[in-house]
Structure 1
Amino acid sequence: MDVIYPRCAGLDVHAETIVACALWEEEGKIQKDIQTFSTFSKGLGDLLEWLEEHGVTHVAMESTVVYWKPFFAFLEGDVDLTLANPQRIKNVPGRKTDVSDAEWIAKLLRHGLVEKSFVPP
């Protein structure tokens, strides 16, 4: 499958934490880094710094509630953002964790398989 976004990240957004998975290729191998950030101001700054350190250009995020709104506004303009509809990117049933969700979102985005939800200005 073709790689559309070589340096991307998936975010699983919750009320108090954001689990992030960055994916990139190095020496022919896919690399990943997974971190958990706080949803408070310092955590958002740390998340943006972490994304920049990894050279992430595209980010997809999933949130089943309105928790995504402040993070979307914070990151908008620094990276290309995609708000994913959770129903469209469901992971396979079974052992589901925030970490596996973030990694799944990143993998789908890497191959251009995440459809953008409309976010009004």
Structure 2
Amino acid sequence: MQNRKRLTNILIAGTLTVLMLTVFLAFRGTGTAVAETAVVETAVVQTTEDFSDDVATLQAQVDALQAQNTQLREALTTMQSRETEYQAQIEAANQTISELSAQSGTLALGTDSFGARPGHSHDH
């Protein structure tokens, strides 16, 4: 148990160290940021075009998800109406069973027609 807890702590510490190192390397304040600001204007235009392509792709995905959401809502409405219909059918069947049981008198009154056989005990 101690070894497992120790291993877990080591893995957590290693993960946090890697995460902190990644953040440090990504956001370190060196002179490279100044050199990168002197980028040619065409690169900025190309990046803007890439963003417009990304926006168009994302909008298409949003539209597809909205269409799928509409289909799922319609399916849910259909299932709920079927559930209501099935529940009504079950209630009608239960009512019929109750009426037939009351007419025959055996099931509704609980007579001994389905009781244990005489002389048979369940003590083993």
Q: Say yes or no: TM over 0.5.
A: no
Higher strand share: 1
Larger gyration radius, structure 1 or structure 2: 2
**TM score, norm. by length of structure 2:** 0.14
Give the TM-score normalised by the residue count of structure 1: 0.14
Higher RCO, 1 or 2 (CA under 8 Å, sep at least 6)? 1
